[in-house]
Amino acid sequence: MSRRVSRWAVTVPLALTLAALSGCGSGAPATPASPGASAPPDGAATLTVFAAASLTGTFTELGRTFEAAHPGTTVRFNFGSSATLAQQIVAGAPADVFAAASPATMKTVTDASLAASPATFARNSLQIAVPADNPAGVDALADLTDPKVKVALCAEQVPCGAAAVKALAAAGLKVTPVTLEQDVKATLTKVELGEVDAALVYRTDVLASGGKVGGIDFPEAEKAINDYPIASLSTAPAPEAARRFVDLVLSRQGEEVLTKAGFQAP
């Protein structure tokens, strides 16, 4: 079969706890603001954004852009499994913005009346990730059913896992993974370390890997595309800053950052 391999590094997701949330994420200030940049919205010194692990690179870049436009404001991120982040928000974790990797995980937050009118800002699809030298010779989704091929998947309750289940069902295939990971970054790490022969992850994560893994397209991925919604939270400590950050993500500038990283426009 033909194989399209995109060589792209694992960005290890930030391991954050609620107790240490004030120190989480990429809070480093961006480049100095240009003349005429606006003052911190709400007088806020910190904007806290909970975002899916697959958004680590793009949102870190957008956070620096936001800091440059609002001197005195620091953007801090909590990156991880969308399902876990949603549960943390419902449990009372202080956050201003939530960006999820699926409508289902956003629904956990909206059902708790903690966000209203989420907007879809990007879409993402799966690829088969393999080690750069592809020792198992994987070149199609059906190869993952071979018991000799060690496969990593995201757990079904997280968006990348739910997408994998949908794609495999569309192909009429059953895969028995050797490990189920709690977010897409952890799943990709298994491939980078050579602990598995293949994994189903987002194409954006393969691209972000910087060539440490290869990515193989498969047609059933089109049946399992994830929409990414974002919303400011009703309990946001900095509501105006939250609204402005959401506006940045939804802007043409935000779209350019996301599409450059391999996301599809909504």
Domain boundaries, the chain: 5-9+125-223, 18-123+227-260
Question: How far is it, in rounded angstroms, from Cα 213 to Cα 66?
Answer: 31
Question: How far is it, in rounded angstroms, from Cα 266 to Cα 263?
Answer: 9
Q: Which of 149, 183, 162 is nearest to 53 (CA)?
A: 183
The amino acid at 232: S
pLDDT at 44: 63
pLDDT at 29: 38
Please state, as a whole number, how many other Cβ atoms lie within 10 Å of the Cβ of residue 19.
Answer: 7
Question: How far is it, in rounded angstroms, from Cα 140 to Cα 204?
Answer: 19
Tens-digit pLDDT profile for residues 205-253? 999 999 999 999 999 999 999 999 999 999 999 999 999 999 999 999 9
Residue segments in the chain with a per-residue pLDDT below the cut of 70: 1-40, 42-44
Task: Report the predicted TM-score, pTM, of the whole model to 2 decimal places.
Answer: 0.82
pLDDT at 229: 98
CATH fold of 5-9+125-223 reads D-Maltodextrin-Binding Protein; domain 2 (3.40.190)
Q: Give 18-123+227-260's CATH code, choosing from 1.10.443.10, 3.40.190.10, 3.40.718.10, 1.10.630.10.
A: 3.40.190.10
DSSP state string for 85-134: HHHHHHTT---SEEE-SSHHHHHHHHHTTSB-S-EEEEEE-EEEEEETT-
What region does 252 belong to: left with phi over 0, alpha with psi -120 to 50, or beta? Answer: alpha
pLDDT at 39: 57
